[in-house]
């Protein structure tokens, strides 16, 4: 049996089984915290929970392989292992602006093909150097760091490495030209493809083989979605990813100006997509309102009684950060309203944002998609799906809410 460790930006899960038959063995929550005006993930807590979960799972199931996927861009510096900073840190915006001024965003995009996002690892590396003036950084992205702790092997799995801003999507290798222009040294590990057998675990994990899966959770979601050429994908979670699979990177001016990104997929393809806000806004509302997750889900169901609301830009910078988005929404809508209507506005703005990006995707790729395939936790949000249906004449197909875990398990199953 296979064990998929799937780590999202607010919770982690251990899924056991096969593509056809699997079960959630463990779910656990975590949140970033502030220390000395910087945001960090509770790294030790997450590591301990995962290790204990693997050991406990092995006692109940005949597990032979383990694969780890997580959110992208965040890393541990092996030369200064003081924790793992969170990509939500607002200081990343100033770092990205400074590096774009130094190198020029047009140049950066021509090398890495990534949309402009202030938390891309490249900008985080630059910010770390600005703050510490360390002469070198030896980064391991989060799932690579976990595999290193559990097996002793250092590497960079390529689908996640492609989100760092340091990888050339055309050559599927580190972009030495771009790296040479940085004012600090980067000690980067060997790149490996999904499906590589890392090796047995250390100590009490020596009876299982660790497999490099498509370790960026969106890459695993694409694998699990099994997209057809006529389908565009909308992966709905804390973040939403809207895109398609293409054979080679699209580095056109249209792609750059429309904010699309070229991330590497499996097997040997490119995930051409755009990052958009997701259920992050609703989750921040939940925290501001002091309600539970179950209460939020009940409120979302109740928004069906609210008339469709006009949409605002769900990717407004103030809705991407930490805080109370209700105040931002009130300002953008120029009024105040009740909580249910506020939630309905978020849902309708998400739906309108998705459809707008699909239109940009078709324009950029000069193709029309017949079908929108929805995957991820958002497939359980029936109000959002109804809102999407109202805005498009395309077929809407529901993929699995567990597409990421299915893609993780699929790569494991083909590796041995």
pLDDT confidence band for 321 (50 / 70 / 90): confident
What digits encode the pLDDT tens for the residues 373-416?
Answer: 999 988 999 999 999 999 999 999 999 989 999 999 999 999 98
- H or E element: which one contains 414? helix 403-415
Q: CA–CA separation, 311 vs 308, rounded Å? A: 9
CATH of the domain at 114: 3.30.420.40
Structure tokens at 19: 């593509």
Q: Which of 215, 247, 276 is the last residue of a domain?
A: 215
Provide the phi-psi class of 298: left if phi over 0, else alpha when psi is between -120 and 50, else beta.
alpha
Same domain, 142 and 165: yes
Residue in 243, 217, 210 with CA at minimum distance from that of residue 141: 217
Residues 305 and 390 in one domain: yes
Same domain, 153 and 244: no
**C-alpha to C-alpha distance for 219 and 227, rounded to whole angstroms:** 12
d(CA 197, CA 155): 12
In a domain, 78, yes or no: yes
Q: Spell out the residues 6+ positions from residue 365 whose beta carbon is closer than 8 angstroms to its own.
A: 244, 246, 250, 272
Span 47-97, pLDDT tens digits = 999 999 999 999 999 999 999 999 999 999 999 878 999 999 989 999 999
Does one domain contain both 233 and 133?
no
**Domain residue limits at 295:** 226-402
In a domain, 409, yes or no: no
Domain final residue pick, 180, 215, 250: 215
Helix (H, G, I), strand (E, B) or coil at 8: coil
Task: Clarify whether residues 158 and 83 are in a common domain.
Answer: yes
Would 340 be classed as within a structural domain?
yes
Collapsing DSSP to helix, strand or coil, 136 comes out as strand
- The pLDDT of 233-255, averaged and rounded, is 95
Same domain, 287 and 382: yes
- CA 383/CA 301 separation, integer angstroms: 7
199 assigned to some structural domain: yes
pLDDT of residue 331: 95
Going 155 to 402 to 42 to 183, the CA torsion angle's sign is positive
How many CB atoms sit inside 10 A of residue 399's CB?
Answer: 21
142 and 281 assigned to the same domain: no
Residues 6+ apart with CB under 8 A from 160: 70, 72, 141, 143, 144, 215, 216, 219
pLDDT value, residue 183: 93
* 120-139: pLDDT as tens digits: 999 999 999 999 888 899 99
In a domain, 415, yes or no: no
Verify that 325 and 235 share a domain, yes or no. yes
**pTM value surpassing 0.85:** yes
CA–CA distance, 251 with 244 (Å, rounded to integer): 15
Residues 292 and 145 placed together within one structural domain of the fold: no
Structure tokens at 65: 């392989």
Count Cα atoms within 13 angstroms, Cβ side, for 164.
30
Beta bridge partners of 174: 167
Whether residues 176 and 243 fall in one domain? no
φ, ψ of residue 246 to 5 degrees: the values are -130, 165
* Residue 66 falls inside a structural domain: yes
Same domain? For 65 and 191 the reply is yes
pLDDT tier for residue 9 given thresholds of 50, 70 and 90: confident
What digits encode the pLDDT tens for the residues 169-179?
999 999 999 99
Burial class (CB in 10 A: 0-12, 13-18, 19+), 222: buried
Does residue 194 share a domain with residue 289?
no
| Structural domain includes residue 31 | yes
Number of structural domains, the chain?
A: 2
CA distances from 406 to 146, 225, 250, 379, 414 (A): 20, 8, 27, 15, 12
**170 assigned to some structural domain:** yes
Pairing verdict, β 209-211 and 197-200: antiparallel
| Domain termination residue (choose one: 184, 215, 246) | 215
* Alpha-helical segments (H) within 291-402: 293-302, 317-320, 325-333, 339-365, 382-391
């Amino acid at each position: 049996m296979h064990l998929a460790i799937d780590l999202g930006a607010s919770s982690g899960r251990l899924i056991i089984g096969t593509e056809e038959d699997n079960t959630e063995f463990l779910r656990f929550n975590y949140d970033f915290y502030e220390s000395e005006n910087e945001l960090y993930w509770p790294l030790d807590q997450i590591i301990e929970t995962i290790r204990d979960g693997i050991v406990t799972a092995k006692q109940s199931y005949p597990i032979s392989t383990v694969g780890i996927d997580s959110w992208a861009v965040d890393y541990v510096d092996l030369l200064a292992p003081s924790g793992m900073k969170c990509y939500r840190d607002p200081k990343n915006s100033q770092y990205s602006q400074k590096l774009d001024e130094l190198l020029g965003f047009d140049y950066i995009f021509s090398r890495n093909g990534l949309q402009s996002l202030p938390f891309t690892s490249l900008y985080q590396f630059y910010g770390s150097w600005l703050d510490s003036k360390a002469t070198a950084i030896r980064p391991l992205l989060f799932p690579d760091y976990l595999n290193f702790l559990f097996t002793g092997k250092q590497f960079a799995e390529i689908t996640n490495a492609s989100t760092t801003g340091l990888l050339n999507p055309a050559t599927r290798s580190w972009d030495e030209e771009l790296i040479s222009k940085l004012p600090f040294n980067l000690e980067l590990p060997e790149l490996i493809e999904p499906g590589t057998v890392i090796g047995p675990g250390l100590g009490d994990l020596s009876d299982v083989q660790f497999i490099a899966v498509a370790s960026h959770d969106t890459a695993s979601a694409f694998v699990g979605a099994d997209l057809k050429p006529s389908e565009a994908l909308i992966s709905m979670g804390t973040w939403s990813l809207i895109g398609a699979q293409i054979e080679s990177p699209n580095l056109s001016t249209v792609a750059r100006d429309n904010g699309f990104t070229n991330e590497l997929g499996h097997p040997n393809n490119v995930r051409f997509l755009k990052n958009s806000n997701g259920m992050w806004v609703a989750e921040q509302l939940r925290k501001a309102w002091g309600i539970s997750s179950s209460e939020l889900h009940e409120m979302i169901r109740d928004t069906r009684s609210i008339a469709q609301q006009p949409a605002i830009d769900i990717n407004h910078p103030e809705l991407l950060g930490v805080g109370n988005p209700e105040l931002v929404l009130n300002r953008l809508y120029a009024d105040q309203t009740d909580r249910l209507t506020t939630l309905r506005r978020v849902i309708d703005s998400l739906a309108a944002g998705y459809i707008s990006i699909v239109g940009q995707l078709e324009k950029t790729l000069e193709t029309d998609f017949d079908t929108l395939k929805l995957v991820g936790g958002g497939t359980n949000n029936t109000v959002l799906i109804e809102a999407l249906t109202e805005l498009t004449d395309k077929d809407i197909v529901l993929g699995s809410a567990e597409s990421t875990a299915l893609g993780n398990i699929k790569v494991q199953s083909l590796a041995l």
